[in-house]
């Protein structure tokens, strides 16, 4: 009976030790992986798609967007590319035309005779180029443009749109000049002076500006402007500095949003726009690198959105989650019936002008000096974090200590039960040997 109890105790001890090894191993593994990112890369879903497109190239992909479920979707042209996309945690959509083919189509449209009142962009979701014409385009111009589209291929889609494609001159804060009313975009600096980044069509270099909400006091002078082609300009403050709250864009009602960086948007991303006429509005990005033929000239490389805008909203800021994305260029429709609005990407404007966003003292993630820079970030850079190396996590006693203690205790229990059993066997052998030879 006593021997049976001993066997039961030994078996229970060994089972407990084995369970302890498994539990301790799981605790160590969990602590070691605590700082690792999830299977899908960190940051916005659009960032994952952009990285995949950059890696696979434009001959094997045809754009990326954020799906209805929040995942990144990448259009690909072959099965191998689709497998790579799925392994990265994104959704693959196989399409017939690569980005190279789609860009070749937009280049052919640009080389055709210019028709004011038209716009086009690559629609990543449908894998085609969509050409829109407003009500000012004559039947003859529509017919000639349709012939150009037909020669390019069946993936160029023509459609009529309501309203008129026009700049939004005459938000954010209103700024006035002899040419009309616009909206202040973002405050920027070159390290010596502060400026307002706004739309280029708001006024040429040398235009004087006045504060529309501060009694018409002198605000500054346009020192650089690009329009058409692009659509951005730089207004130098009369006093040289932007003053308090330089890192905040006004959204109406005495409220504002602090801007902490700049990036390029992703198709499908929800975005917000502020303007001195229509206030704060939101919508989604529908296309990138869009071309618009305004009456004043053609502008390329724009962001196309479903956000509405009205006259006077020009130059107002486009942003999302505190990240500057663009300044209002133009579009069609209004905020009653809706419409399409185009934006000048802020990263391209900052690079071309040699300036950076102003960040006020003590801003999150920034330096303590007013006017310090907020760098232009590649897609997703604002959302990524630091991942510690595996050796550092394994040697961090605070993280894996409890698991290691459980493992060590279980090993000691196993060794002890084995040693005690061996010792008992030796003693029994000695007794039996002595009894035999005596």
CATH number for position 149: 3.30.300.50
Residue 378, pLDDT score = 41
Q: Where is average pLDDT lowest: 267-276, 292-301, 416-425?
A: 416-425
Residue 395 CB-density burial (10 A; 0-12 exposed, 13-18 middle, 19+ buried): exposed
Question: Per-residue pLDDT tens for 131-148?
Answer: 999 999 999 999 999 999
Q: Are residues 146 and 131 in the same domain?
A: yes
Distance CA 367, CA 383 (A): 18
Locus of tokens 């905020």: 335
Count H helices, E strands: the chain?
8, 25
379 found inside a domain: no
Q: What is the band of 251 on the pLDDT scale with cuts at 50, 70, 90?
A: confident
The answer to whether residue 356 sits within a structural domain is yes
Percentage with pLDDT > 70 across the chain: 70
Please tell me whether residues 141 and 234 are part of one structural domain.
Answer: no
DSSP designation for 383: T
pLDDT averaged over every residue in the chain: 81
CATH label of the domain that carries residue 358: 2.40.10.10
Question: What local confidence, expressed as pLDDT, does residue 127 receive?
Answer: 97
| Whether 61 contacts 99, CB under 8 Å | yes
Per-residue pLDDT tens for 277-325? 999 999 999 999 999 999 999 999 999 999 999 999 999 999 999 999 9
The answer to whether residue 388 is domain-embedded is no
**Of the ranges 33-37, 152-156, 379-383, 418-422, the best mean pLDDT one:** 152-156
- Are residues 280 and 233 part of one domain? yes
Q: What positions carry a catalytic annotation?
A: 201, 231, 314
Read off the pTM.
0.72
Give pLDDT tens digits for 330-347: 999 999 999 999 999 999
| 61 and 156, same domain (yes or no) | no
Angstrom distances, CA of residue 423 to CA of 409, 418, 419, 420, 427: 21, 9, 6, 5, 6
Residue 383 inside a domain? The answer is no
Residue 125 sits in the same domain as residue 73: no
- Considering 138, 160, 182, which residue would you say is the last residue of a domain? 160
With respect to residue 39, please indicate whether it lies within any of the assigned structural domains.
no
- Considering the domain architecture, whether residues 9 and 62 belong to the same structural domain is answered as no
Structure tokens at 374: 């907020």
Specify the DSSP class assigned to residue 121. E
* Cα gap 408→35, rounded to integer Å: 24
Whether residues 153 and 189 fall in one domain: no
Task: Give the model's pLDDT for residue 380.
Answer: 37
The residue out of 94, 111, 131 marking a domain boundary is 94
Q: Are residues 361 and 220 in the same domain?
A: yes
- Within 10 A of 303 (CB to CB), how many other CB atoms are there? 27
Range(s) of the domain holding residue 301 = 166-374
What's the mean pLDDT in 35-43? Answer: 42
Considering the domain architecture, whether residues 338 and 324 belong to the same structural domain is answered as: yes
For the chain, the domain total comes to 4
Q: Among 229-238, 253-262, 293-302, 348-357, name the one with the lowest average pLDDT.
A: 253-262
Per the CB < 8 A criterion, the answer to whether 266 and 66 are in contact is yes
Q: Is the peptide bond before 228 cis (omega within 30 degrees of 0)?
A: yes
Tokens coding 263: 């990036």
* Nearest in space to 306 (alpha carbons), one of 289, 331, 327, 326: 331
If asked whether residues 289 and 370 sit together in one domain, one would say: yes
């Amino acid at each position: 009976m006593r021997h049976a109890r001993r066997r039961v105790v030994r078996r229970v001890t060994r089972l407990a030790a084995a369970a302890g090894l498994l539990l301790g191993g799981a605790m160590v593994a969990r602590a070691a992986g605590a700082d690792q990112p999830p299977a899908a890369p960190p940051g916005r879903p659009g960032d994952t798609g952009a990285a995949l497109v950059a890696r696979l190239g434009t001959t094997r992909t045809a754009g990326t967007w954020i799906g209805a479920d929040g995942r990144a979707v990448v259009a690909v042209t072959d099965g191998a590319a689709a497998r790579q996309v799925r392994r990265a945690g994104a959704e693959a959509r196989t399409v017939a035309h690569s980005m190279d083919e789609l860009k070749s189509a937009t280049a052919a449209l640009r080389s055709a005779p210019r028709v004011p009142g038209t716009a086009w962009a690559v629609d990543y979701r449908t894998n085609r180029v969509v050409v829109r014409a407003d009500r000012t385009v004559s039947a003859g111009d529509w017919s000639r443009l349709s012939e150009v589209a037909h020669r390019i291929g069946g993936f160029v889609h023509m459609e009529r749109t309501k309203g008129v494609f026009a700049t939004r001159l005459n938000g954010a804060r209103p700024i006035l000049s002899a040419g009309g009313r616009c909206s202040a975009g973002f405050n920027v600096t070159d390290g010596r002076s502060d400026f307002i980044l706004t739309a280029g069509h708001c006024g040429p270099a040398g235009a004087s500006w006045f504060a529309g909400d501060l009694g018409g006091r002198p605000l500054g002078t346009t020192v650089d402007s690009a329009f058409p082609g692009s659509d951005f300009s730089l207004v130098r403050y009369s006093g040289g500095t932007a003053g308090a709250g330089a890192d905040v864009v006004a959204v109406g009602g005495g409220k504002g949003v602090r801007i902490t960086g700049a990036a390029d948007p992703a198709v499908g991303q929800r975005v917000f726009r502020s303007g001195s006429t229509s206030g704060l509005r939101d919508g989604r990005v529908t296309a990138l690198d869009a071309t618009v033929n305004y009456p004043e000239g053609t502008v390329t490389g724009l962001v196309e959105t479903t956000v509405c805008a009205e006259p006077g909203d020009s130059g107002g800021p486009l942003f999302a989650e505190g990240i500057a994305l663009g300044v209002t260029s133009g579009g069609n429709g209004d905020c009653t019936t809706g419409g399409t609005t185009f934006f000048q990407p802020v990263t391209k404007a900052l690079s071309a002008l040699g300036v950076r966003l102003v960040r006020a003292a003590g801003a999150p993630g920034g330096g303590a000096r007013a006017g310090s820079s907020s760098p232009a970030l590649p897609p997703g850079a604002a959302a990524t974090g630091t991942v510690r190396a595996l050796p550092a996590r394994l040697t961090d006693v605070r993280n894996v200590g409890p698991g290691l203690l459980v493992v060590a205790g279980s090993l000691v229990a196993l060794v002890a039960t084995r040693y005690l059993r061996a010792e008992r066997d030796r003693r029994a052998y000695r007794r039996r040997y002595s009894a035999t030879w005596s």
